[in-house]
Amino acid sequence: MSRIVFSSPSTLPQLYSTSRRIVKMSVTQTMNSGVSFRSMAVKPPSHPTYDMKGVIKLALAEDAGDRGDVTCLATIPLDMEVEAHFLAKEDGIVAGISLAEMIFHEVDPSLKVEWSQKDGDHVQKGLQFGKVSGQAHNIVVAERVVLNFMQRMSGIATLTKTMADAAHPACILETRKTAPGLRLVDKWAVLIGGGRNHRMGLFDMVMIKDNHISIAGGIINAIKSVDQYLEQQNLQMEVEVETRTLEEVDEVLRIYISNKVILDPDNAR
C-alpha cells in the first residue's frame, strides 16, 4: 500500500494520508456550503456583507490558476481514493475545523470528514484529531487551502488563549489590524481562543481617534459632532474615544457627566 505525506512548514495541524483504490468507512455528516452556524462550537462573528463562501472560492482559485493541480493530474490516478488524517504538530488550540469542512464541501460534497476534536479544544503534539476520505485529487486540491486557514487560525487562537488566561478577569479584544480579506476569519479565531471581538469595521461603532480629534478641532467638537450625526441618522451605537493625555481623559469625562450619561464599565473599551 503506497503512502502520501502532505508536509507543512507551519505549526499545527498537518495532514497525511494513506492511499488505496477503495476506501470503506462509515458516512459522516459534512457541513454544506450554506452551513447552519447553530451546530458550530464557536460561531463566526456577524458581518452584513462578508461572503465566506466567496473567500473560500477565491482561495481555491488562487491555488488552481487556469490549469489546476498539474502535479496531481500527472501523478495520481483519477480513480484513486484516500483517507487523510489531521495531525497536530505542536501543542495548542485548534481552530478552523468548521471552516475546513466548508472548504472540503466546496471542492467535493462527497468527501467524508470526521473529527475527534472541536474548535477551541486544546490538542497535544502528535494527536490525530480528524480525517477526510474520498477522491485523492479533490482532497489534495483542498488540502493546502484547508491547512493555510487552520494553521493561521490555530496560531491566532493559541496566542489569544495565552493572553486571555493571563489577563483574566479582564477581557482581551482585537483590532481592525487584520489581513485584508480575512478579517472575519481572523476575528473568528480570536473568539475560538477565548478573546472578544471589538468593532468589525468602520460601520458598526463610532471610534473617535487622534485624527478625528485633530481635524474636528478638539475632543469636545468631535463628540458633539458625533452626537449630532447619530441623532440625525437615528442611530444607536457605541461611541469610543481614544485619548492621548490625562487632560483629554478629563475632558471626555466632563462632557459625559455634564450630559448625565452613565458610563457602563462592562462596555468600556
Scored b (16 or more CB within 10 A) or e, 257-269 reads: eeeeeeeeeeeee
Distance CA 173, CA 197 (A): 6
Asked if 35 and 102 count as a contact pair (C-beta separation under 8 A), the reply is: yes
Which amino acid is present at 107?
Answer: V
- Residues designated catalytic: 177
Find the distance separating the first CA and the last CA of the chain, reported in whole Å: 57
Residue 239 has which C-alpha cell? 461611541
Residue 230 has which C-alpha cell? 447619530
Which amino acid is present at 170?
Answer: A
Full DSSP string of 148-190: HHHHHHHHHHHHHHHHHHHHTTS--B--S---TT-HHHHHHHH
CB atoms within 10 A of CB 249: 13
Paired with 241 in beta bridges are 208
Distance CA 83, CA 86 (A): 10
